[in-house]
Structures are given as C-alpha cells and as structure tokens.
Amino acid sequence: MSVSILGTTALVTGANRGLGRALVDALLDRGATRVYAGARRLESLAELVAASGGRVIPLQLDVTNADDIANAAAVAGDVSLLINNAGVVSHSFGAFDDPKWLPAGREEYEVNVIGPLALTQRFQPILASHGGGAVVNVASVVSFVSVAIAPTYSASKAATHSITQYTRQALRDQGTFVAGAYPGPVDTDMAERVPLDKTPAPVVAAAILDGLEAGVEDILPDPVAREMGATFFSNPKQLEQPASAEAA
C-alpha cells in the first residue's frame, strides 16, 4: 500500500532537530498540507514554525508524558500520518559493569519503545477515521545487531522493531500502513561521537518518505542500512526501494 504525502496531515515527534527536523522539511517539500511538530520545548520550534507559512503547528510533546500525548490527540485530530521519530541514547561508551547502563536502559525503553506505542494507541481511532492512514516508527540498524558502544540503546531499538511488527498486525484490519525505518549512522547530534561515515539527515528523511510513498514496510534509507538490512530481512520484497533512494 503506497502512502501519498501530497495533501496529507502529519505529526512528527522530536521535530525540533536532527532527523525529525529533516522529516518536517521533507514533508513540506512534498506537499503535506500541515505538519504537527512535536517537541519537549516549544521554543526550540520557533524558527521552524516561523519559516513554514502556517503549515507547521508546534505541539508540546514529551513522548513519555501521558498528558502531552492525550493533548496531542485532542489537538491533532486531522492527522493521517504519524512519524514516531523521537529517540534517545541515554548512555554510551561504558564498561560492562557501568552502573549507568541500568537507568539508561530504562529511559531508552520508555522513549524509544513505550513512547511510540503510547502515541500510536492514542492516534489509532484518529487514523481509522481518515481511512487508516500510516505510522512510521524510526528504529535503527542497531535493531538488527547490538553495538558495544550503546548496548541498552541497541536493545531498545530491537524492541522498537518488535513493537513495529506488532503494531502492523494490530492495525492491519483498520487499513493503517505501518512502516519501520532502519537508518545507519545519521549526521545528527545523536551520532556526534560515532566514528563512522554518516549520511546527512535530509538524505535519510527523503529516503524514508520515498519508502513510504512506494509502500515499503521495512525502509532501509542509506547504504549502511541497505547492507545490514539485506541479511536481516530475508524476504526480498521488503528490500524493494525506489530509484531515488538508491541514488541518495
């Protein structure tokens, strides 16, 4: 099932910087009518909102805050595309017995797994009322294999993949298209200390929307993702990518 961006109304979490910001820009470029930009600090959205000509609506949205999520659903009842992008690495580069892994793992699970599930639960009837709509969960290549520098983050992103599969099954009957996006290293604040080649956020954002428009369920939006995903997703149909994504 392909998803049309032109004329849609979307909500992007973690929209104030990094990949979320790039996704908002890409949605606007492709003709989305309105984009709700979720952020923990509304002031961090000021420039994005001011430049949008009224098409970006700022939304106070900490994905771990139940009141924020309820308010988002009350305000953004016209959403037909939900992009669960917000994510966090709470600790990295520690020894195995580093006590920081435990609170970090709990926080990462709350933000990276429970957050998308809670938001999608709230938006389920809204999406249904617009013919099903679509959900994208931003996972990672570390959903496929744990990286030693960020083991608890890796575990949370493996769980993001799992909850994406569950969501796809659960919302199938109401016609909601559910995609997972699995980027490799992206050039954002999050990957600042990662000593690898990184794909620019606008390139990854464009490839995610390409995948969505082509109806790809497991979106591999950069070269690292395509290489690692090829061994993880055994069904070749899931690897199908539009030509523009391959060229990115």
Ligand X SMILES: NC(=O)c1ccc[n+]([C@@H]2O[C@H](COP(=O)([O-])OP(=O)(O)OC[C@H]3O[C@@H](n4cnc5c(N)ncnc54)[C@H](OP(=O)(O)O)[C@@H]3O)[C@@H](O)[C@H]2O)c1
Residues at the site binding ligand X, with contacts judged by CB under 6 A: 13-14, 16-20, 40-41, 44, 61-64, 85-88, 111, 138, 140, 183, 185-186, 188-191
CB-nearer residue toward ligand X: 132 or 158: 158
Residue partners of 144: CB distance under 8 A and separation at least 6: 158, 161, 182, 228, 229, 231, 232
Q: Angle formed by the axes of helices 151-171 and 101-109, to 10°?
A: 20
CB-nearer residue toward ligand X: 147 or 239: 147
Out of 36, 109, 153, 182, the active site residue is: 153
Q: How far is the CB of 161 from ligand X (least distance, A)?
A: 11
Instruction: Say whether 153 is catalytic.
Output: yes
Q: How far is the CB of 64 from ligand X (least distance, A)?
A: 5
Q: How far is the CB of 171 from ligand X (least distance, A)?
A: 20
Residue 13: C-alpha distances to residues 111, 158, 169 (Å): 11, 19, 22
DSSP codes joined into one string, 9-74:
EEEESSTTSHHHHHHHHHHHHTT-SEEEEEESSGGGGHHHHHTTTT-EEEEE--TT-HHHHHHHHH
* Residue 204 backbone dihedrals phi, psi, to 5 degrees: -65, -40
CB-nearer residue toward ligand X: 132 or 185: 185
Residue 182's nearest CA partner among 239, 244, 119 is 239
Q: How far is the CB of 41 from ligand X (least distance, A)?
A: 6
Terminal alpha carbon distance of the chain: 23
Q: Angle formed by the axes of helices 115-129 and 66-75, to 10°?
A: 20
CA angle 230, 231, 232 (to 5 degrees): 95
CB-nearer residue toward ligand X: 62 or 240: 62
CB-nearer residue toward ligand X: 127 or 186: 186
Q: How far is the CB of 118 from ligand X (least distance, A)?
A: 11
Contact 241, 210 (CB under 8 A): yes
**Residues designated as active site:** 153
